[in-house]
Structure 1
């Protein structure tokens, strides 16, 4: 059985190009080579006649570019600097050859020789030695070409000095560019570090707040258990007192007053019992499985708890048709979502100090979906807040009022039941939360027992 080839040594692995990168590299090479050959027309115009020499130089240049591209996608990473250095020297040599065969010191291309190191510094700013190699090659080429084409010594030195100056500025510019890149990278890293620290601090603060709320929740569960016993005593004693007092011979007016007082007290005790039962239900909702539920009942549960928060802030109006189709969800989960929306509306109205605040819950059924709208007549959502409203840990409240998780969790709960939760502003002013759920498709009527 053949053994797999050993892995390449570290630092000697080839630089693999994806197929897309290879195609892009070859496409650029083909465009460059086609342009290079098309510019042979300029050589003919310069020499005022067709000549084989500049065509051969351009063909040699095209060949060098093709071989370089072929090697580039196959050369190991550690050998790429050597390949690029050789490529820089060869393209400078090809260009100098083109200068030589098109008139030497009289060639129009002569003025472009000092630009070679500048171009190389621009193309490869991370490798200044390429600009230096191009500059050295250009200077040496000047020393050879100019004397052979009757160039004066002073003129030759001037051209060599120009190439040297261009090389210096190219290397200096690339060095400054590298320093700027390093400084920018360091600034980016420092900025990312500060942002990470801020997010970590914020997350720690929210975690502490969440733990505090969880502790309060556990304490509330214990308190609810303790409240039940005295409530039972109060209810029993109240019933006993009501029976005994009303059994006494009393004037009709006093009897009626006593009866109204006992009825109001019993109603208050029953309300306390219902709130305790609702809170206990929320604490045990994880054990509840999704089932068919009527949204009218869900809204009633949420409104009963929200009334404690909205009592002194806004008037709560509920308009839910009793015949609204059922949905398939966890009743207390949906009640938790609605309670959160109602409490948020109350907080917004209280913060804005709205006089005559009103929170309205309405429900409609259309096209196989049931829609609940929770609206208020407050200031609405600011434009910069609306896109981030459902982000985790995003809140406009202080840390003592919220963790920024309520709406995020509410949307997640709604989506579990195939619904959506969206926020918008009402045209007439105020905020609107739109909760949509699919209508539950019950089994065929023939499968149900007849009433």
Structure 2
């Protein structure tokens, strides 16, 4: 096995394990330069050039410079050995400098307890290095004092100061780790929150884009539906102008009848405009209990404009069906998309006597909504890919390949399921299933159903 490898197994350690895991050491790049540059102080203390003290500082500075790089490439047990080695090196360096500067009688001996604080500063979050250096410092200080003839009491007193500084260094390291961990968690939470906000905004934009694409696909039907009342509104206005100006004695009953027809045409145009405006605006409403009959009714208002000259639209959604928990406009968008898709398929394959059905029923603890047509159905190679993003069999002006995937996502958000299959009788079937809402959250509704014929009359 090579000396250094990248075979460290991934794991999720606890906070305590993270604090005492080798490899957490952080050594600023300037510190090796500081260690080496401090040799100037050694020259002043020793009164001249000292090769042994220079060797200690060069060795330690080189080890500090390469330590982070070596840790990145080391496995876990190699990192532990490196940490112990650097702890021994740090503690030994302090003792060696004190000995070379004159031993117990030299100026560096008073700095031995504080040396552990220097080690803490150099090996930030290096728990193993600090503890190992402290142990070396305690043993070395005791032996140094005893070798110079100092009493056991004096030696232990010095050791007590070394222990105190080591423990203080460990406390500072622990505090630093917790502070950095807290800051990291705050950054992660902020990033997560911003990502969720961006995702939600993108989802709203994508839903809105698909809405506008749907409106574009029914634009021809909208224009035809508006042009019809506009034509007789204009004709009636010409009639009124002629009779009121040129024939002041015109029949008032006839004029009143013309005015009623004109008002009816204007109101019809206004209803279409309001339906389009309400459907195309960005959704701001929250999910709530809603009846499938009402949702289907919202979708049929616009779908009938597209299907009016393509197929007969038959709706059978009992109003006593249990309510579902959803955003009404978004669910209406799903139903509208399925209805328009059915109309496009019937028109593309030029199906004679095309029919589209919307059926609602309950199956156990599920509410089921079926959108069916009597077209050619889904081809075998199309059905498995039907809900893939950007997959479409339509021309670019009729399909983006996002309508069905988005519909499935919206249905899933409401706890439902959207699937596709072919009818045994022929044609396509889209199936929406929703969990039944608790009885206490539903309001009583009278039963009933309605149908929209091919000419659009309800």
**TM-score when normalising by structure 1:** 0.44
